Structure 1
Amino acid sequence: MPAPPNGVIAGWLARHHHLVLDGALGTELARRGADIDDPLWSARLLIEQPALIREVHLDYYRAGADVATTATYQATFEGFARRGIGHDEAARLMRLAVALACEARDIFWREAQADPAQAQRARPLVAASVGPYGAMLADGSEYRGDYGLREEALMDFHRERLRVLAEAGADLLACETVPCLVEARALARLLAELPGAEAWISFSCRDGEHVSDGGPFADCVGALDGFAAVAAIGINCTPPQHIDSLVRIARAHTAKPIVVYPNAGEQYDAVTRTWRGTAHAGGDALAGAALHWAEAGARLIGGCCRTTPADIAALYRRWAAADGAS
């Protein structure tokens, strides 16, 4: 992966106050009528509707996102094999996911060059999503972390997939919704096997102090702090009411940038594959909370499940107004 001397994220944050992430991909595809009721989730559309994936990426860039995260969260060799898709075709689909985000970025950038209103925008990034082992199981265990696997076994699971994605042309990797320290360490150790690669690692958390398997979030952050290729550490797909506490914990245990992209506040039922409750982090609510999280130390902020391009547009407008006032 191409990277400036100090890394993609460090280089960006040396020039800008913050990095605006995109919002949900899978639930946004579903909102537009796609059927993702499948163990492959959004990766199913790499086979059936790749143009729709590109369209969503493009809409996030247009909304103000500085990063698009690829449709590879549940794209694994094991998951594709269950659908009768062989190794080589699975690798091609993973590379396609990165290509779709890069194509959307190129379309947006051509538009931005011709639009004076976009003159302040920097050329955005592409992050290749790496979901946890539990995402492949498709049973909600990325919100429990009860795998019962050792670190080395998780490294074996992630190794080739990580290599394919790292070589596919993305700017960085997004290792996300990690529920436990053992898997985070496995991913961090694998990054050292990929020269030039960098990633953020973000955890799913059950409350304001613990990751999904019950371990202290502080211990997870501290354990990753010494890995050079881990460029940012944080939280995603966690209810927004827990984020402030988690950001403050992260800030106390690492000097690395803090990444935050909560879900909209609803709860996912893995049995019925539906969302319950009321969204609390949409639109202006997400934008207002983001400024608060930034004050606490977060510098990469966006949305996860059930957030939309409209939510990211509100976040972008709020950032722009705050920057203009500073």
Structure 2
Amino acid sequence: MAHISELFDSPVAIMDGGMGTTLETFYSKSISNTPLWSANVIMEDPEAVINAHLAFLRAGAKVILTATYQCAFETFERAGYSKDEASRVWKTGVALANEARSRFLKEYSKRGPQPKIRVALSIGPFGATPVPTQEFDGFYPPPYGPQAFPGEGLDGRNSFLPGEQAKEEEATQALAEFHLQRLKVYISDPETWAMIDCLAFETVPVVREVAAIRRAIRGLQEEYGENAMKPWWICNVFPFGKLPERHSSPREVIRAALGGTNLPRPSAVGINCCGVEFMGDISAEMAEEIGSIESTGKAPWLILYPNGGDVYDTILRQWKKGRDKAHWAEELNQVVQSVRANKAWGGVIVGGCCRTGPEEIEHLVGAIDY
């Protein structure tokens, strides 16, 4: 299987910003209060999706994420779509990113040698499917977890107790099937699969889902062969610097993602959808744990794309004003330089998540010390 490093000529690559919030801000699309998020715009206004991708590319991004984060059969069924209809929308999301890439490269051809532009398939966690969404709390209902969201102000648990190993194994396998079925939509269509350069599993809130994603990749390998596989990464979410799953940590995330030899390993791991102020400490703890894991070749890359600073209320489905992002790019560059100095990492892909648009990415391109 190809390593993520083979996609780039430099150990630092710039990624885009938050697709959904960019569509809201610049294209006046009502997204954050809909169950399909940015995937809704794939159907309603595909040109807006292309233009959002183009805005990030013109700002200097070399990696663009598809508008497919919310694409799961469960969310589309609630919105009234059959599985066949949903699958067509998902594949269209990939085609729109590829169209944006083609248009940008045509524009760029007049300026000199064409850059390498990569399309990453955005794959949200199971936590993106419940109502309210659970990326930031990790309350997964059975069979995916111990308990559904208990309600605002009520106690609950998002991790299994000692002695519940059998239930946790059942949950991990259920999550693996959830991800595998979605991956098959893309890989079963050769034209769509050829447009994708890498797979981006994003905003994962619980450790067992990291292990489940590795199982899903193994299932894909067994059915389609290792030569068909794309480089892939897993990013976890750490709201306010902590993994949502109780009693878990960045070290456990790394062990789940890179430990053991019986499952395929991602060639990159990372952090997304949390504040830039937490990125340095989390990535440093991850790097320390990598040193205790048996190496299997090339060092993993680190993926970093923090939010712009505002906070999303999953109950009200509204954004609340948060941290000032005036120095967001400079702060992120400081983290990148620290990461580059750490020999645990082979390289870094850096960009923005929610409430970061083309302007922030342009500032980031200017701030990064290559």
Common fold, TM-score beyond 0.5?
Answer: yes
Structure-2 residue corresponding to 1:11? 6
Structure-2 residue corresponding to 1:305? 354
Structure-2 residue corresponding to 1:160? 181
Say yes or no: does 1:260 pair with 2:260: no
Structure 1 letter corresponding to 2:28: G
Q: 1:161 & 1:46 partners in 2: Cα distance?
A: 17
Could you report, residue by residue, the CA deviation over 1:234-292 in whole angstroms, capped at 9, with x for unpaired residues?
A: 1000111111101111222234111110111222111111111334345xx23212221
Which residue among 123, 126, 132 is the counterpart of 2:125?
132
Say yes or no: does 1:217 pair with 2:250: yes
Could you report, residue by residue, the CA deviation over 1:63-94 in whole angstroms, capped at 9, with x for unpaired residues?
A: 11111101111111121112221111111111
Contact 2:277-2:331 within 8 A present in 1 as well: no
Structure 1 position 318, deviation (Å) = 2.2
Structure 1 position 143, deviation (Å) = 0.4
Structure-1 residue corresponding to 2:109? 113
Structure-2 residue corresponding to 1:176? 202
Structure-2 residue corresponding to 1:289? 331
SS at match of 1:23: coil
Q: 1:216 & 1:224 partners in 2: Cα distance?
A: 13
CA separation of 1:28 and 1:239: change in aligned 2, threshold 3 A: same
Segments of 5+ residues of structure 1 without an aligned counterpart are: none
Structure-1 residue corresponding to 2:148? none
Structure 2 letter corresponding to 1:136: T
Aligned length: 309
Q: 1:276 & 1:207 partners in 2: Cα distance?
A: 15
TM (norm. structure 1) is: 0.90
Q: 1:21 & 1:192 partners in 2: Cα distance?
A: 27
Structure 1 position 223, deviation (Å) = 1.8
SS at match of 2:219: coil
Structure 1 position 177, deviation (Å) = 0.4
Structure 2 letter corresponding to 1:177: T
Matches within 5 A, 1:201-280: 201-208=234-241, 210-214=242-246, 215-226=248-259, 228-254=264-290, 255-280=299-324
SS at match of 1:297: helix
Structure 1 letter corresponding to 2:181: E
Q: 1:286 & 1:110 partners in 2: Cα distance?
A: 31
Q: CA RMSD in A?
A: 1.7
Segments of 5+ residues of structure 2 without an aligned counterpart are: 145-170, 221-225, 291-298, 341-347
SS at match of 2:129: helix
Say yes or no: does 1:35 pair with 2:30: yes
Could you report, residue by residue, the CA deviation over 1:182-240 in whole angstroms, capped at 9, with x for unpaired residues?
A: 111111211122231331100111343x3122311111112211454412101000111
Q: 2:105 & 2:177 partners in 1: Cα distance?
A: 37
Q: 2:315 & 2:61 partners in 1: Cα distance?
A: 32
Contact 1:192-1:229 within 8 A present in 2 as well: no
CA separation of 1:182 and 1:22: change in aligned 2, threshold 3 A: same
What is the aligned-residue identity percentage?
33
Structure 1 position 12, deviation (Å) = 3.3
Contact 1:251-1:258 within 8 A present in 2 as well: no
Which residue among 40, 46, 49 is the counterpart of 2:42?
46
Structure-1 residue corresponding to 2:150? none
Larger Rg: 2
Q: 2:214 & 2:129 partners in 1: Cα distance?
A: 19
Structure 2 letter corresponding to 1:156: E
Structure 1 position 140, deviation (Å) = 3.1
